[in-house]
Amino acid sequence: MNPAGQVSPTEVPSETIAPPATRLAPPCTLVIFGAHGDLTKRLLTPALYNLTGGGLLDKDFTVIGVDRLDGSDESWRQELGQTMQEFTKDPNAEFYTPEINQGWWSDLSGRMHYTKADFTDVGQLEALKQQVQGNAIFYLAVASRFFATVVENLGKAGLTQQSEGVFRRVVVEKPFGADLESSRALNARLLAVLDESQIYRIDHFLGKETVQNILALRFGNGIFEPLWRSQFIDHVQITAAETVGVEGRGAFYEPTGALRDMIPNHLFQLLAMVAMEPPNSFSAETVRTAKEQLFEAIRPVAPENAVRGQYAAGTVQGRAVKAYRDSPGVAADSVTETYVALKLEIENWRWQGVPFYMRTGKSMTGRLTEVVVHFKQAPFAMFADTPVDRLAPNNLTLNIQPTQGLTMGISAKIPGPKMDLAGVEMRFRYEDAFKLTPNVGYETLLYDCLTGDATLFQRADNIEAAWRVVDPALRAWEADKAGPELYAAGSAGPSGADALLERDGRAWMKLDRAT
Ligand code: BG6
């Protein structure tokens, strides 16, 4: 991450995506395994396009796309160029820009080359050696079952060998393992070939500006941190609700489910940003050690504190949605969860007694990713003889998406002769203060990997610690034949999730409220 972005909002140039002080990334060959895959088309290419436009790539930066299908540089460039054009048509896509800057695109596409190879075959990877000289990053945009094999083959082909002034790095996507045991086994296989410092386990949530802003908010201001503890905070809610369903991803989603897909990675990263102790610097090791200490303090989730649901047919924002079980690639009697809610307890001085509730789900009533910090109520006695019958709770919402900003809920006096109060909001919105440029979040992460900054990537112990927390829920669900509770597509999730909070005298924030 680049902590040096100290520019006033009006100074942010409209044409670039990076603060002016950002340095050029070193020359490097980026080898993408899975050249035809969705990740490459929909996220990596727009990110590289934005980095090109930001003038952040060295003149000797090149991309080699590797896949099993026949193809040429020209056909690959055309295929990616087509997807880029489609981005100009859909403002709701992962990336939207009203027009593609032809100068940026021809600069980038001229650096892109295609190689047909089967990455499970060492011999075919050895052939890559001629093309890959000097610094290289190997990006595993492939199904997770291939991660270890590709890394082992890269090792055998001598492609992971670093030398003085030359780096060789590997970017690994999620899911990183399917539980504690398999994540340990995967880490062990990668670490038999690579040094930990060569492995960049990516979590795209950490590429989101609003997620990185949580650190800026907590540690760059004097007013929040003193209140950021059990003395003043009642509980915290972390939500990542989606209106999309499983769409065409049934084959991936069936053995994965909402918990593995979202919790030990994305939601735990949000949790870490909100709950870790202040690190002394942004250095990768300091930040990742702070996360590790937090994760180690979380009690493994008790099965009664884990709720799962699966969407049945319904209507999402006016659109009829079929049941999850009727989606392509999904078993008619599937027990895969498309919704999960957890109550987590952190056993350290700062958070003892402050529950962290998290939930994520597909086909829900609203699209909303946010963290809401609920502060303790003010004493009521002073208002006993007034028309006030209850005080609005004070909460601080870190709006991550679609709204990007910060919202503070406070009580204010309703103008008039009587002392009566109403809940009102103080709002900061990114788009009001800064010029936002279209990006997919992978820009920062790719740039960080090129410059060797692993702050926003997960260390082996971080991943294992997160799996350790959620493992008891996975084990309990495996043994429980009842399966997940059904919820109607377009609803706020299963009733069991409401009960989880009601038990504690609390309620979830509404998903369809205006933000
Ligand atoms: C991905 C999950 O990692 O994150 C998807 O595999 C999910 O299932 C997505 O939809 C959510 O990311 P975002 O950035 O759209 O909130």
Residues of the chain with CATH 3.40.50.720: 29-173
The model's pLDDT over 338-374, given as tens digits with 9 standing for 90+, comes to 999 999 999 999 999 999 999 999 999 999 999 999 9
Q: How far apart are CA 256 and CA 265, in angstroms?
A: 13
261 lines ligand 1 (CB under 6 A): yes
What's the CA angle centered on 94, arms 88 and 99, to 5 degrees? 20
Q: State the average pLDDT over residues 223-234.
A: 97
Burial class (CB in 10 A: 0-12, 13-18, 19+), 103: exposed
- CA–CA distance, 305 with 346 (Å, rounded to integer): 13
Pairing of strands 29-33, 368-375: unpaired
Q: pTM for this one?
A: 0.93
**Strand pairing category for 29-33 and 62-67:** parallel
Placement of tokens 């945009």 in the chain: 141
Atom number of ligand 1 nearest to Cα 265: 3
User: Which of 264, 310, 266 has its CA nearest to residue 483?
Assistant: 310
Pocket test for ligand 1, best of 96, 173, 261, 359 (most atoms within 8 A of CB): 261
- Give the span between the Cα atoms of 56 and 22, in whole angstroms: 8
| Strand partners for 236 | 356, 373
Tell me the helix, strand and coil percentages in the chain, rounded to 5: 35, 20, 45
pLDDT, residue 389, reads 84
SS3 of 266, please? helix
Residue 14: pLDDT band (50, 70, 90) is very low
Q: Is the CB of residue 369 below 6 angstroms from any atom belonging to ligand 1?
A: yes
Residue 58 has pLDDT above 90, yes or no: yes
With tokens 């038999």, the residue in question is 192
Helix intervals (H) in 36-93: 38-39, 45-53, 73-86
Atom of ligand 1 nearest to the CA of 441: 14
Is the shortest distance between the CB of 292 and ligand 1 below 6 Å? no
What pLDDT score was predicted for residue 21?
A: 54
Class of the CATH domain delimited by 206-502:
alpha beta
Residue pLDDT, tens place only, 491-510: 999 999 999 999 999 999 99
The answer to whether residue 266 is catalytic is yes
Which of 83-87, 93-97, 475-479 comes out lowest in average pLDDT?
A: 93-97
Of residues 96 and 320, the one with the higher pLDDT is: 320
**Closest Cα to residue 237, out of 83, 397, 361?**
397
Ligand 1 near 203 CB (within 6 A): no
pLDDT at 471: 98
Atom of ligand 1 nearest to the CA of 256: 6
Among residues 300, 298, 293, 269, the alpha carbon closest in space to that of 471 is found at 300
* Cα 367 to middle of ligand 1, angstroms: 12
Confidence category of residue 5, pLDDT binned at 50, 70, 90: very low
Q: Which residue has the higher pLDDT, 143 or 93?
A: 143
Q: pLDDT tens digits for 274-326?
A: 999 999 999 999 999 999 999 999 999 999 999 999 999 999 999 999 999 99
Say if strands 319-321 and 314-316 run parallel, antiparallel, or are unpaired. Answer: antiparallel
Peptide bond into 27 cis (omega under 30): no
Q: Identify the three-state secondary structure at position 301.
A: coil
What are the residues whose beta carbons fall under 8 Å from the beta carbon of 163, sequence distance 6 or more? none
Pocket test for ligand 1, best of 205, 266, 368 (most atoms within 8 A of CB): 266
- More confident of the two residues 110 and 390: 110
Q: Residue whose CA is closest, atom 5 of ligand 1?
A: 261
Dihedral sign (CA 83, 84, 89, 90)? positive
Count of CA atoms in the C-beta half-sphere (13 A) of 489:
23
- Mean of pLDDT over the chain: 93
pLDDT value of position 353: 98
CA distances from 43 to 69, 106, 195, 375, 446 (A): 20, 18, 27, 37, 11
- Catalytic residue of the set 36, 113, 204, 266: 266
Determine the CATH number of domain 29-173. 3.40.50.720
> Where, residue-wise, is CATH 3.30.360.10 in the chain?
206-502
